[in-house]
Amino acid sequence: MSKRALPAAAIAARPGFRTVPAVSALDRYEPGVRAATGTDEPASISVFGVIGEDFWTGEGVTAKRISAALRSVGAKTDVAVNVNSPGGDYFEGLAIYNLLREHQGKVTVNILGMAASAASVIAMAGDETRIARAGFLMIHNVWVVAAGDRHQLRDAADWLEPFDQVAREIYAARTGLSDKDLGAMLDRETWIGGAEAVAKGFADDLLASDQVTVDPEGDGVGQAKALHKLDAVLARAGMTRTERRKLFADLKAGMPSAAQDDTPSAGVRQELEALRTALAAI
């Protein structure tokens, strides 16, 4: 299908609200999955890793980065978008979806490993979407960290509802599935394998097996998965993004040296206790 038939996505991110990858997606995510070299593809853009700013690595897949990449290849140049991502910031994902939808050249999306959550929306923004037989799409309702009394939480739920509707409209335009069926799929967090994705219309075709490769040592696979999973667990435990960044910075800097006071401060004790709780949950 032409991406011109896809609806534009309205974006109105709320200050203080940020989505993070689902722990279930991080469990299945294999960062080493990449496009095989030597394939006959047009200019390519990689959507690898977490969607949105990734403050653990200093990178992440942002709309700013994708916009720069599209400018670099040229407004009318055909482009292949290679995807392997556990998701992340849903609002950043919508912005990237819009950029790909508006690109004047043909966009071919290749789901090499996983396109979960926000990455699944990005994967819809192609004139053609292909998926590895062993690849997965995962769709679910928008999830954010929120705090407050019942009035504030009700307001947050009402504010989120239109974004779930936007996701259903995008998936419906691609697949032809009903709003009711898609709503049920989002409510229960649905994982869709390669062949099923083609059968249901989320993808147009399967990728050939020789178009996908796995680098088991790529991008610090084990460490990256552990850091992002810990971040997701801490977010769900109610720790703010600023608090999580500080905790990881403190851990990276190391524990107090022997020359310092042997008794950790109250702040350090709280951070370590939060880390123990998160590790237990993992």
DSSP letter assigned to residue 128 = E
Residue 38 has what pLDDT? 63
| Rounded Cα gap, residues 238 and 252, in angstroms | 21
Confidence (pLDDT) at 270: 61
**Whole-angstrom distance, CA of residue 203 vs CA of residue 198:** 5
From the number of C-beta atoms within 10 Å of its C-beta (0-12, 13-18, 19+), residue 75 rates as exposed
- Name the β-bridge partners of 192: 137
Q: What is the mean pLDDT of residues 228-257?
A: 64
Domain boundaries, the chain: 3-216, 237-281
Report the C-alpha gap between 256 and 167 in whole angstroms: 47
For 221-232, how does the pLDDT look when each residue is reduced to its tens digit (9 = 90+)? 555 666 666 666
165 has a pLDDT exceeding 50 = yes
Identify the burial level of 128 via C-beta atoms within 10 angstroms of its C-beta, where 0-12 means exposed, 13-18 middle and 19 or more buried: middle
Q: DSSP 3-state assignment of 216?
A: coil
Give the pLDDT score at 13.
65
pLDDT digits (tens, 9 = 90+) for 29-69: 888 898 887 656 679 999 998 898 766 555 679 999 999 99
Question: How much is the average pLDDT of 141-148?
Answer: 73
Q: What distance in Å separates the CA atoms of residue 20 and residue 64, rounded to the nearest whole number?
A: 19
Record the tokens describing residue 159, joined without a space.
């504010």
If phi > 0 it is left, if psi is from -120 to 50 it is alpha, else beta; for residue 29 that is beta
**pLDDT per residue as tens digits for the range 60-107:** 799 999 999 999 999 999 999 999 999 988 989 999 999 999 999 999
- The identity of residue 40, as a single letter, is D
Give the pLDDT band (50/70/90) at residue 265: low
Rounded to whole angstroms, the Cα distance separating 234 from 161 reads 24
Of the candidates 140, 135, 139, the one whose C-alpha atom is nearest the C-alpha of residue 30 is 135
Of residues 189, 280, 278, 266, the one with CA closest to residue 237? 278
Q: Decide if pLDDT at 132 tops 90.
A: yes
Dihedral (CA of 43, 49, 54, 57) sign: negative
Instruction: Quote the CA–CA distance of 251 and 246 in Å, as a whole number.
Output: 9
224: tokens are: 């990256």
Of 133, 41, 120, nearest in space to 83 by CA = 120
User: Kind and range of the H or E element at 123?
Assistant: helix 118-123
Instruction: For the domain covering 3-216, report its CATH number.
Output: 3.90.226.10
233 contacts 247 by C-beta, under 8 angstroms: no
Is 58 strand, coil or helix?
Answer: coil
Residue 138: exposure state from Cβ atoms within 10 A (0-12, 13-18, ≥19)? buried
Q: What is the pLDDT of residue 79?
A: 96
* pLDDT band at residue 5 using 50, 70 and 90 as cut-offs: confident
How much is the pLDDT for 257?
43
The mean pLDDT of the chain is: 81
pLDDT at 259 over 50: no
For residues 86 and 214, give the distance between their C-alpha atoms in angstroms, rounded to a whole number.
16
